[in-house]
Amino acid sequence: MRHPGSIALAPAGIVAAVLYYFITSGNWQEFGIWPEPSIIGWTTGFADLANQTATADCIRNGTDLTTCDPYGRPFQPYAVIPASLLAALGLGVAQTGVLGVALAAIYVFTIWFLGRSIARNWLRHPVGLAAALAALTLAAISPPALLLVERGQIEILVLLFAALGLAAFARPSPLIRGMGAISLTVSVVVKYFNVGVFAAFLAPRRWSWWAGAAMAASFAFLVINFTDVIQARETARADLASTSRVMFGSTTMFVTLAEDDPLAFFAQETQPMVIYRLAGLAVLAAFAALWWWSIRRIDIASMPNLAWFWLVGSIGSVGAPYLLGDSNDYRLALLLPALAGAAIWLGTRGHVLPLTILISLIVIAMVTNAWMIPNEAGWLMPEWAMVGGEVAISATVGFGLALLARSWTNGGNQSESLPRH
The backbone torsions φ and ψ at residue 190, rounded to the nearest 5 degrees and listed phi first, read -65, -45
Whole-number pLDDT of residue 418: 37
What value does the mean pLDDT take over residues 224-236?
76
Least reliable range by pLDDT among 32-46, 66-80, 131-145, 361-375: 66-80
Q: pLDDT-derived band of residue 230, with 50, 70 and 90 as boundaries?
A: confident
Whole-number pLDDT of residue 216: 96
Whether pLDDT at 282 is above 50: yes
Whether pLDDT at 412 is above 50: no
Whether pLDDT at 396 is above 80: yes
What value does the mean pLDDT take over residues 338-353?
93
Is the model more confident about 138 or about 36?
Answer: 138
Sequence-distant (6+) residues with CB within 8 A of 401 are: 284, 288, 291, 319
Whole-number pLDDT of residue 74: 85
Whole-number pLDDT of residue 206: 86
Whole-number pLDDT of residue 90: 94
What value does the mean pLDDT take over residues 234-257?
85
Whether pLDDT at 13 is above 50: yes
Whole-number pLDDT of residue 327: 86
Per-residue pLDDT tens digits for 70-103: 998 888 888 888 999 999 999 999 999 999 999 9
Whole-number pLDDT of residue 8: 86
Q: pLDDT-derived band of residue 334, with 50, 70 and 90 as boundaries?
A: very high
Q: What value does the mean pLDDT of the chain take?
A: 91
Measured between alpha carbons, how far is residue 292 from residues 318, 325, 340, 408 in Å?
19, 25, 21, 11
What is the chain's Cα-based Rg? Answer: 21
Whether pLDDT at 413 is above 60: no
Burial of 228 per CB tally in 10 Å (0-12, 13-18, 19+): middle
What value does the mean pLDDT take over residues 28-32?
93
Is the model more confident about 421 or about 288?
Answer: 288
Whole-number pLDDT of residue 167: 97
What value does the mean pLDDT take over residues 373-388?
92
The backbone torsions φ and ψ at residue 242, rounded to the nearest 5 degrees and listed phi first, read -100, 150
Is the model more confident about 359 or about 77?
Answer: 359
Whole-number pLDDT of residue 317: 96
Whether pLDDT at 414 is above 50: no
Q: pLDDT-derived band of residue 2, with 50, 70 and 90 as boundaries?
A: low
Comparing C-alpha atoms, which of 24, 49, 17, 79 is closest to residue 330? 49
Task: Round to whole Å and give the CA distance between 215 and 212.
Answer: 5
Residues paired with residue 248 on neighbouring β-strands, in sequence order: 327
- pLDDT above 90 covers what percent of the chain? 72
What value does the mean pLDDT take over residues 94-115?
98
Whether pLDDT at 227 is above 90: no
Positive/negative CA dihedral, 76, 81, 87, 89: negative
Whether pLDDT at 207 is above 90: no
Whole-number pLDDT of residue 416: 37
Whether pLDDT at 3 is above 70: no
Is the model more confident about 179 or about 2?
Answer: 179
What value does the mean pLDDT take over residues 49-67?
93
What value does the mean pLDDT take over residues 388-410?
93
Whole-number pLDDT of residue 26: 95
Whole-number pLDDT of residue 410: 64
Whether pLDDT at 238 is above 70: no
